[in-house]
Structure 1
Amino acid sequence: MFILETKGLKKSYSTGQGTPQSILKDVQLQVSQGEFIAVMGPSGSGKSTLLYTISGMDKLTEGSVIFKGQEISGVSENELAGLRLKHMGFIFQQMHLLKNLNIRDNIILSAYRARTSSRRTINKRAAELMNKTGISALAERDITQVSGGQLQRAAICRALINQPDILFGDEPTGALNSKAASEIMDILADINQSGTTLIIATHDAKVAAQAERVLYMLDGSIAAEQRLGKYYRVDGELKRREEKLAAWLLKLGF
């Protein structure tokens, strides 16, 4: 059984002029547990809309989204919110951290809301995540007192605090310099290798080269797919994968 599957997925928006604008067109997608998938394509191709729709953050127009065997497009808003809270994690280019909370409180807030563990257990897990991502010393800092790379690390901790089955990332390294982006991808690769399914939309071929499978979107459809296999971070491997991916993207006109 796939952890996530879409059948005939379509998404359109009203333009206010009578004819809806089609964003996603009959997307068929099957995601296995533990996969790392990168979604690429030109701006406006539907990458972000795909992530928002398959995660239930945006309503589909037609078709179905099945998560862990459950059709999620027909459940109530409260059920869907609970599903996202307890089973999904989200990382965005803009971190959306709360300005009135420090780093630690931003990380633990969703776990307190989920109420699936004791506060002691939540605080312990937050400490472990901050240690793993190298921001333990920043726990009491306001979000205005740390760098963009550190904020993204905090956002990753927040996304993982409820131990999600699947992690979605919409350009999670897009606002970072190359060093910070590389460090974030190392963290995400570790997360994936521990068993968490990862789906990331990105323009960056270096990010996508670390994925097991790359989907290329064009005009709202998955136009092509490249399987790169698992990435094991041995010397020279990333460069080889980048070159293979770049040649493929060039043929697609990207």
Structure 2
Amino acid sequence: MTDGPARSSSRARILGRVRRALADVPRYERPEDHPVPRDYLRAHGERTSAESVDLLAARLTDYRAVVHRTDPPGLPAVLAELLRRRGAHRVVVPAGLPDGWLTEAAIEQVVDGAGLTAHELDAVDSVVTGCALAIAETGTLVLDAGPDQGRRRITLVPDHHVCVVRAPGQVVDSVPRALERLSPVRPLTWISGPSATSDIELDRVEGVHGPRTLEVILVESPEPPS
């Protein structure tokens, strides 16, 4: 472990470099005085909404998520079947999960709340949530602790996460387009596939930092006529 004087010396060196880099900047100048041009690509190519949803499904599969597709009336049956196959009996849900989603599932629902401990979360079989957005190009789900998503911890402790994405409304093409729709003051969780890491021999190990199994249900509604 680095001792106190060494830490202090490193800090002094870093701050010294910052001061030297800013030596010619007037004290009255502020970052907003020099807008940064953001002329990079907003997305890699143009797609229809259906093509974006197809790309999202492909990217999620690349990341070893299990993808299911249905329409709004079919969602309760799909959720019930996935939880049945998993053998899930106790499932944690956000307080704002839509009422109709789990009407066909024979489970005990554990509603998220401040008193729910990590030990209790570890004892449940699955977690079911919605999402804020899904990014097609990167196969990423973004959760922002909305009513149908709950606190970040409920999607990190249980070993099985079922996430519902409403398409095409919640699907965007790219990260820049996602950032335009997300609030920077909310606690954002970005998920690309099940939790995974590699050991020193580069052997993939899943379930270390979050769920070992991620299942995504794309609930597809027809687009209104333009």
TM-score scaled by structure 1? 0.25
TM-score scaled by structure 2? 0.27
Considering Cα pairs closer than 8 Å and 6+ residues apart, tell me whether 1 or 2 has the greater RCO: 1
- Structure whose alpha-carbon radius of gyration is higher: 2
Structure (1 or 2) with the greater helix fraction:
1
